[in-house]
Amino acid sequence: MESHTASAETGLTNADAARADGVSVHTRRYYERAGLIGDVDRASSGHRRYSEADLAWVETIRCLRATGMPIAGIRRYYELVRTGRHEGERLALLEEHRESVRAQLAEVQDHLAYVERKIAIYEDRIDG
């Protein structure tokens, strides 16, 4: 989870990381300020250098955010992962989130079914 000092000079700059994973420089800095990303290694110039592990963690954040997990939930998950313990609590947090995602998915499927019914009505009117 944490950056590796060996990557400080060879890791990706913030701009390069943004090109690699599609997360903007500003979003990545927000994640850092929000406590979702730990201390990122810095080159001797003082510029951030992102390791493969950092990029993988940012992908985790993107996935959790895209599925609706609140920042506070991601922060809690990060803290649990960072310590390397509390696997039961991590599991419970992800199971709870899974249920939330399933509920969202069911709602979207209901909305899609509505849209499909409306399309069928218009298709029948136009064709008939």
CB 51 within 8 A of CB 17: no
Token duo for residue 71: 């920042």
Residue 65 belongs to what domain range? 5-127
Its pTM stands at 0.80
In this prediction, residue 9 has a pLDDT band, given cuts at 50, 70 and 90, of low
Note the pLDDT tens digit of each residue in 48-82. 899 999 999 999 999 999 999 999 999 999 999 99
Task: Write the Ramachandran bin of 90: left for phi over 0, alpha for psi from -120 to 50, otherwise beta.
Answer: alpha
Contact 50, 15 (CB under 8 A): no
Residues in the chain: 128
Task: Please give the pLDDT value at position 40.
Answer: 87
Indicate the number of domains in the chain: 1
Query: In the block, which residue shows the tokens 């599609």?
Result: 22
Closest Cα partner for 78 from 64, 68, 67, 96? Answer: 64
Instruction: Write the DSSP symbol of residue 48.
Output: B
CATH no. for residue 64?
A: 1.10.1660.10
Q: Report whether pLDDT(87) > 50.
A: yes
Q: How far apart are the first and last CA of the chain?
A: 61
pLDDT at site 10: 77
